[in-house]
Structure 1
């Protein structure tokens, strides 16, 4: 059996799961062979999965969770691994988001998913037509798991520009909005997160054409994700990327400075009390 390898849990979903599995196994004092015997999988497979060299099946995750008495802590990571809760067209973006060293986003309607509270995300996702409660809950958990990238040891720089209308759109009710805006102002205190607000008084702006995210990756061309009412679009076509860079700069030029924006967010939170 190969010697244990210390994984960086922030290296990706498989590394994070492998790290959590090893932690749970060691908490009960079992070897890889003992765990393998109880879940009826091979010790080599347990080793491969703990070292993030092979993805686990849902059956494997369920058996480990039960055998180790993890009370669902391992199973809750399944959406992160399988991406089953995310539309197929969005899964490409999830990989890009994980690898990006810088993310820039413009959001004219909603708080971006990476900064949403669980209650706010649930209110947004349950509002989609034809979505069952079970589907919405899976999507909520998948969205929350994405937020891991902001708390890892090497988080991306996240530049956020919001329309002021986002602060006043009643998503989920007063308590949900208050907690969401309090969370937003707290997150904006991070040196890796910048939040600016475009004043509502400007009226029509370039940004009303829709939200988007620009991802910068080391050694790769910038990639953008454009939101739409149906399927989103992920592209690294230079003409699209350049056009969105120009649009983002134009929108950001109209936004309040960060310290003014944070004060606006705090004031808006109080209006929902």
Structure 2
């Protein structure tokens, strides 16, 4: 990949600095891409393909780069999210990935056991941030999450990291009319999420998919009966959780106490 970038840049008669300025990345990042030290983002490859007149050669490498950035069990789900008409999920441990701040993601990987090397942490953080472009794509997907009350109380890294994360979630729900977040109170006597976290996606052609996190890797679920069971569970969770407006008030109060 790096050699392709370097060759097309040379053919276009551009310096690395000129490419970095036009594609809005640092010169050091562009150099790391060319040396194979970092994996290019999808948006960079699309823009570089146009700038360097690669005629699709660089864009054709995007699937290969995705397989380098994400675990094998997650690649299929990530691609579904990119095209989904709706995305939803239940989380009992963490803020949903599409809503995480960079410092929250950084802490998430730094406390991981077994410990990851710095270069692996950097790769994972960059890949997760890149996925968040799903929320602003055209057409906009409808997005809904139910999260446990304990999630908004867990100071991953520090209270400051959590406070900034909660304020970010509030900003997202206030500015993104395609997004709803609901909090499941800890004291609820009935709870449909005891089997653990899961996610759902519906494609524009009406197909429904599920994804369940499991020890050792997640599972992409395609069987209609199993996906329908997850859809039913998510409907029950939304009914049992606080309303989106009550949830926003709780998140705001929690952030104010930090």
Verify: 1:269 aligned to 2:252, yes or no: no
TM-score (norm 2): 0.77
Deviation per CA, 1:197-256: give whole Å up to 9, x if none: 111121562213211111000225200000122211101111210111111111111111
For residues 137-156 of structure 1, what are the structure 2 equivalents within 5 Å? 137-156=122-141
Contact 1:109 1:163 in 2 (8 A): yes
Q: Give the SS at the match of 1:89.
A: helix
Contact 1:80 1:146 in 2 (8 A): no
Displacement of 1:17 after TM fit?
3.7
Contact 1:212 1:227 in 2 (8 A): yes
- The aligned residue for residue 194 of structure 2 is 208
Verify: 1:123 aligned to 2:107, yes or no: yes
Contact 1:108 1:208 in 2 (8 A): no
Relative to structure 1, the CA distance from residue 83 to residue 269 in structure 2 (aligned partners, 3 Å threshold; closer, same or farther) is: farther
Contact 1:105 1:161 in 2 (8 A): yes
Verify: 1:105 aligned to 2:111, yes or no: no
- Structure 1 unaligned runs (5+)? 1-12, 26-30, 33-45, 57-78
For residues 1-273 of structure 1, what are the structure 2 equivalents within 5 Å? 16-21=43-48, 25=51, 32=53, 46-49=54-57, 52=59, 54-55=60-61, 81-130=65-114, 131-189=116-174, 190-202=176-188, 205-272=191-258
What is the aligned length?
216
Displacement of 1:101 after TM fit?
0.7
Distance in 1 between residues matched to 2:64 and 2:181, nearest whole Å = 26
Distance in 2 between residues matched to 1:112 and 1:176, nearest whole Å = 15
Contact 2:77 2:220 in 1 (8 A): yes
Contact 2:49 2:55 in 1 (8 A): no
Contact 1:100 1:156 in 2 (8 A): yes
Contact 1:101 1:156 in 2 (8 A): yes
Contact 1:167 1:265 in 2 (8 A): yes
Displacement of 1:49 after TM fit?
3.5
Relative to structure 1, the CA distance from residue 248 to residue 148 in structure 2 (aligned partners, 3 Å threshold; closer, same or farther) is: same
- Structure 2 unaligned runs (5+)? 1-40
TM-score (norm 1): 0.73
Distance in 2 between residues matched to 1:89 and 1:225, nearest whole Å = 10
Q: Give the SS at the match of 2:138.
A: coil
Distance in 2 between residues matched to 1:85 and 1:243, nearest whole Å = 31
Relative to structure 1, the CA distance from residue 192 to residue 80 in structure 2 (aligned partners, 3 Å threshold; closer, same or farther) is: farther
Displacement of 1:80 after TM fit?
9.3
Relative to structure 1, the CA distance from residue 85 to residue 204 in structure 2 (aligned partners, 3 Å threshold; closer, same or farther) is: farther
Contact 2:190 2:240 in 1 (8 A): no
